[in-house]
Structures are given as structure tokens and as C-alpha cells.
């Protein structure tokens, strides 16, 4: 924790417990008196929102698992039975399925915040890397969860994604069979995916614990990207987490839950795919296999590599590019050479970053459509080419733009402190 503990056990039982297990002290120092920069905007509320959604997913998931049957003959029907016959099953199932999407919306906004305000830079590299680990675990959990209802898209999505493993040289086929537990996606695959889908959220919760620990050592970043000052000036830059940020986060969480409720109650199926209301059939391939929306940018990157690169064939190249697109986030803290955290003071890089966000959204669009279709109906301009261009930009942003900009860009003048930044904006 940053700064000495200010917890004063006031009752006898608190004193007794504090000498044996200072858990109240930990909670107090972490979530009550924790000094938090006073200039955090609403982009900083997504951490709290994500914690809420992790809990929603775990609690609703535990109830669903009480009624779900992980068997290739019964899985599809059991999910339908949950929505029809289990009391409030329609609500719990809708919360869980839509909750996954809202979890990913929040995590993407949280990552956007981190990228824009440079939250990954020293001394927060480990905090950032733990976040990327959580994101990877979420991807794995979400993917396996989507397989469980055993609809057509569940089955064929699982088929496409697990087949990617087969592209690895030498060990690919063996690894894929090991993952399947057989020679195709089938009963053993469903069973182990169910087991892992139940396990991984608790692993996520544990890494979230580390993530919060790593956050509480240097403390929060903030929109101007300056560290809070130490010593007696610390109070001028910060506010205690409670009540200032509990109430602000609380408000944001409720607003986000309202949007969530609109989907859960009024649009429960729009984020899904019609084909997933058809039971999995290994003999009938859907015309157009698409993953869940939150994987679409990476799906587009996978499909963008249609050419061999030296000894690497197109398929392996696509797989490497797809995993590389996430893997590169692990080394991001060392690719960005600029000492300036916030994009507010980086006039050139800011524009490159905004285009990076456009590229990521564009890749999502490319992932959702047939790569041979034409963009906006322009003959010859295939989505494939757009996807390839955007994939190039995605990687160029990390490998070229960030390292070079840190050297050539002249940042804008920054305020002397958070206090000065706050007063400055107050005067204006």
C-alpha cells in the first residue's frame, strides 16, 4: 500500500482481530482511506464496473451449472429447459449470456483508458501485464462458455478455433487431439470445456486480486499522467477513496447496469446468433461461421494473413498474427519510449492512437463479414484488403509509431502537479 496505514481499531474486537489477522486494516487501507488522485474522470470507473460483472458472471454461472447438463445429447435442451422451466431461469441465462458481452465492453473501455492515458508505463508495468493476463483468461473463458449451449455456432466456432491449434508445426495435430480429447469436437471436448469454464473465473478472480494489489503499490494513474506527490503535498493531490470514489464509481456502475438491463430484459437475443438456436449438428456446416463479437477484430487478423511468409504458411501465419496481436500487449510498456503518459500532452501520437481505435473497430467489422465481400459495395475493394491494411496498422502502431514517437515528438507543456492541473481547469 502506498503510505502508512491510518487504520485505528476502535473497538475491542477490532483490536483483538487486528493483532491476529489485520484484514479490516487491509480493507480500510485499500478501499476506504486509500489516497486516490482527485482528478479521475469517468474513464476510471470501469475497474469497479468490471468487478461487479465478474461477480454477476460467477453468481449467475454457479446457478446455471446447477441445471446444465454437459452432454452432447442433452446440453442444448438443458439450456432451453433452464430458460423455460427453472424459476427465473430465463433471467439468469439472459444475464449470463449478455453479461459476457457487457464484461467485454467494459474491459475494452478499461483497456482503451489504459492505452490513452499511458497507464501501462513505469511504475505500472506489472499492473498492466496482469491486466493482459486477465484479458487472455476472459477470452478463454468466454470462448469455452459459448461452446456449452451446444448450438450450431457453439459447435462450429469451437471447431474453427480448436483447428487453429493444428496449424502449429510438428506438435499441432497431437496438441489438437489432446485438447479435443478425441478426433473431433465431441463429448469429451464439451465436458472439459465445462470443467474449465467453471474453473477459469476463479483464476480470473485471483489474478484480479493481484491486479488490485499491483494497483495499490503505485496508486492510480490519472488523466494528466503525473504521479501524486509524496509527503504533505500528497493530500493536495489526492482524496480518500471513500466516500469520493465509492460514490462516483457507484453512480457509474448503476448507469452501466441500466444499459445492461435494457439488453437483458428487452433485447436478450440481439447479441447472439440465430444459428445458435439450432442444435449442434456435425454434419451440417453453417454458411457463415462467426465468433462472438468480442473476438471479431482478432478473427479479422487471423483471416488477414492469406500469404506464406518464408517457411511459415498462411494458416500458421494467421494464427501467429492473431496471438501476436494480444501478445504484443505484454511488451507494450517497453515499446512506448515516451516518458509522457497521457495522450493529452502528445499532440501527434494522440492522432495515431485515435486511428488505432478506428482500426480496431474496423477490424471488428472485417471479422463480422465475408472477407470476399466488397467494402461499401465498391467493386474490387474486398474486406480482405481492408482487414490486411488495418492489421498492418494495428501492429505498426505498437512496433513503429510508439517507439519512434517517443523520440521525435515534442510533448505539450504539462502542469506542475495534479493540484495545479485541477486549479488550472477551475480558473478557466
Partner 1 sequence: MKMTRIFAAAIAALGFAGTAAAFEGEQYPPKEHHWHHDGPFGTYDRQSVQRGYQIYQEVCASCHSMDLMRFRNLAQRGGPFEEEAFPNPNDNPVVMQIAGSYTRVWDQDEVNDDGDPIERAGLPSDAFPAPFANVQMARASNGGAYPPDLSLIVKARTGGENYLYSLLTGYYDEPEDSHLAPGMYYNPYFAGGAIAMAPPLAEGIIEYADGTEASVEQMAEDVTTFLSWAGDPHMETRKQMGVMVLLYLLIFAILVYLAYRQVWANVKH
Write the DSSP symbol of residue 227: P
Q: Out of 183, 413, 426, 428, which residue is the one contacting partner 1 (CB under 8 A)?
A: 426
Piece in contact with partner 1 (CB under 8 A), picked from 81-89, 160-168, 208-216, 301-309: 81-89
Interaction between residue 417 and partner 1 (CB under 8 A): no
* Whether 159 contacts 185, CB under 8 Å: yes
If one asks whether residue 5 binds partner 1 (CB under 8 A), the answer comes out as no
Binding residue (CB under 8 A) for partner 1 from 287, 376, 407, 408: 287
As measured in angstroms, the least distance from the Cβ of 392 to partner 1 is 33
CA separation for the pair 375, 381 (Å, rounded): 6
Residue 247 binds to partner 1 (criterion: CB under 8 A): yes
Nearer to partner 1 among residue 138 and residue 253 (C-beta)? 253
Contact residues for 85 (Cβ-Cβ < 8 A; gap 6+) = none
> Which is closer to partner 1, CB of 8 or CB of 269?
269
Radius of gyration of the chain, Cα coordinates, nearest whole angstrom: 24
- How many angstroms separate the most distant Cα atoms in the chain? 78
Strand partners, 35: 240
Verify binding: residue 170, partner 1, rule CB under 8 A: no
Selected from 2, 30, 80, 163, the binder of partner 1 by CB under 8 A is 80
With the C-alpha atoms ordered 394, 400, 402, 405, is the resulting torsion angle positive or negative? negative
Instruction: Tell me which of 15, 84, 339, 412 binds partner 1, using CB under 8 A.
Output: 84
Q: Which stretch in 51-59, 89-97, 183-191, 389-397 sits in contact with partner 1 by CB under 8 A?
A: 89-97
In the chain the first and final C-alpha atoms are separated, in Å, by: 35
In DSSP notation, 384-403 reads HHHHHHHHHHHHHIIIIIHH
Q: Binding to partner 1 by residue 206, rule CB under 8 A? A: no
91 lies in the site for partner 1, by CB under 8 A: yes
Report the relative pairing of strands 35-37 and 238-240 from DSSP bridges.
Answer: antiparallel
33 binds partner 1 (CB under 8 A): no
Per-residue x/- marks for partner 1, 348-387, CB under 8 A? ----------------------------------------
Q: What is the DSSP track for 7-63? A: ----SHHHHHHHHH-THHHHHHHHHTS-EEETT--GGGGHHHHHHHHHHHHHHHHHH
Residue 38's SS3 state is coil
Give min distance, CB of 248 to partner 1, in A.
6
- Out of 38, 96, 124, 382, the residue judged to bind partner 1 by CB under 8 A: 38
Rule CB under 8 A: is residue 335 a binding residue for partner 1? no
Quick one: which segment of 104-112, 241-249, 299-307, 369-377 binds partner 1 (CB under 8 A)? 241-249
> Minimum distance from CB of 18 to partner 1 (Å)?
28
Q: Do 201 and 61 touch, CB atoms closer than 8 A? A: yes
Q: Is residue 270 a contact residue for partner 1 (CB under 8 A)? A: no
- Produce one character per residue of 213-224: b if its CB has 16 or more CB atoms within 10 Å, e if not: ebbbeebbbbbb
Judged by CB under 8 A, does residue 323 bind partner 1? Answer: no
CB of 85 to partner 1, least distance (A): 9
Residue 152 CB, nearest approach to partner 1 (Å): 8
What is the DSSP code (8-state) at residue 277?
G
Per CB under 8 A, does 257 bind partner 1?
Answer: yes
Question: Of 96 and 346, which has the nearer Cβ to partner 1?
Answer: 96
Q: Which residues contact 281 (CB under 8 A, 6 or more apart)?
A: 152, 155
CB of 39 to partner 1, least distance (A): 6
3 state SS of 37: strand
Q: How far apart are CA 4 and CA 231, in angstroms?
A: 11
Would you count residue 326 as binding partner 1 (CB under 8 A)?
A: no
Contacts of residue 291, defined as CB under 8 A and 6 or more positions apart, other chains included, come to 143, 146, 157, 160, 161, 299, 367
Contact flag: residue 262 with partner 1 (CB under 8 A): yes
Residue 79: CA atoms inside 13 Å, Cβ hemisphere, count?
24
Indicate which single residue of 65, 66, 255, 348 sits in contact with partner 1 (rule: CB under 8 A): 255
Q: Is 73 exposed, middle or buried (0-12, 13-18, 19+ CB in 10 A)?
A: exposed
The answer to whether 251 contacts partner 1 (rule: CB under 8 A) is yes
Any contact of residue 42 with partner 1 (CB under 8 A)? no
Count of other CB atoms within 10 angstroms of residue 42: 13
Binding site for partner 1 (CB under 8 A): 38-39, 77, 80-81, 83-84, 90-91, 94, 239, 243-244, 247-248, 250-251, 254-255, 257-258, 261-262, 264-266, 268-269, 274-275, 277-278, 284-287, 419, 422-423, 426
Amino acid at each position: 500500500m502506498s503510505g502508512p496505514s491510518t487504520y485505528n481499531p476502535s473497538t475491542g474486537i477490532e483490536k483483538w482481530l487486528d493483532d491476529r489477522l489485520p484484514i479490516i486494516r487491509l480493507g480500510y487501507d485499500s478501499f476506504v482511506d486509500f489516497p486516490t488522485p482527485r482528478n479521475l474522470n469517468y474513464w476510471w470507473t470501469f475497474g469497479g464496473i468490471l468487478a461487479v460483472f465478474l461477480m454477476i458472471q460467477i453468481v449467475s454461472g454457479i446457478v446455471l451449472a446447477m441445471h446444465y447438463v454437459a452432454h452432447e445429447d442433452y446440453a442444448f435442451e438443458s439450456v432451453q429447459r433452464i430458460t423455460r422451466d427453472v424459476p427465473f431461469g430465463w433471467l439468469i441465462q439472459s444475464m449470463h449470456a449478455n453479461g459476457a458481452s457487457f464484461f467485454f465492453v467494459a474491459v475494452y473501455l478499461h483497456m482503451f483508458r489504459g492505452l490513452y492515458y499511458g497507464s501501462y508505463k513505469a511504475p505500472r508495468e506489472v499492473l498492466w501485464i496482469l491486466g493482459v493476463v486477465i484479458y487472455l483468461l476472459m477470452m478463454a473463458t468466454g470462448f469455452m462458455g459459448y461452446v456449452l449451449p451446444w448450438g450450431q455456432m457453439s459447435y462450429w466456432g469451437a471447431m474453427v478455433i480448436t483447428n487453429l491449434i493444428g496449424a502449429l508445426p510438428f506438435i499441432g495435430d497431437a496438441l489438437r487431439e489432446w485438447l479435443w480429447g478425441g478426433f473431433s469436437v465431441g463429448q469429451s471436448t464439451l465436458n472439459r470445456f465445462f470443467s474449465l469454464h467453471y474453473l477459469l473465473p476463479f483464476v480470473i478472480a485471483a489474478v484480479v486480486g493481484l491486479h488490485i494489489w499491483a494497483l495499490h503499490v503505485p496508486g492510480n494513474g490519472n488523466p494528466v499522467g503525473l504521479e501524486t506527490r509524496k509527503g504533505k503535498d500528497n493530500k493536495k493531490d489526492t482524496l480518500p477513496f471513500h466516500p469520493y470514489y465509492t460514490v462516483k464509481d457507484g453512480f457509474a456502475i448503476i448507469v452501466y447496469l441500466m444499459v445492461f438491463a435494457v439488453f437483458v430484459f428487452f433485447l436478450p437475443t440481439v447479441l447472439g446468433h440465430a444459428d445458435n438456436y439450432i442444435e449442434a449438428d456435425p454434419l451440417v456446416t453453417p454458411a457463415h461461421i462467426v465468433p462472438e463479437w468480442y473476438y471479431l477484430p482478432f478473427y479479422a487478423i487471423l483471416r488477414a494473413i492469406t500469404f506464406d511468409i518464408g517457411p511459415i504458411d498462411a494458416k500458421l501465419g494467421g494464427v501467429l498474427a492473431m496471438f501476436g496481436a494480444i501478445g504484443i500487449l505484454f511488451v507494450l510498456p517497453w515499446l512506448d519510449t515516451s516518458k509522457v503518459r497521457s495522450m493529452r500532452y502528445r499532440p501527434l501520437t494522440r492522432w495515431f492512437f485515435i486511428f488505432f481505435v478506428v482500426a480496431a473497430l474496423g477490424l471488428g467489422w472485417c471479422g463480422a463479414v465475408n472477407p470476399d465481400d466488397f467494402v461499401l459495395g465498391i467493386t474490387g475493394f474486398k474486406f480482405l484488403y481492408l482487414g490486411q491494411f488495418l492489421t498492418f496498422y494495428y501492429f505498426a502502431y505498437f512496433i513503429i509509431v510508439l517507439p519512434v514517437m517517443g523520440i521525435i515528438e515534442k510533448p505539450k507543456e504539462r502542469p506542475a502537479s495534479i493540484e495545479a492541473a485541477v486549479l488550472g481547469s477551475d480558473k478557466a
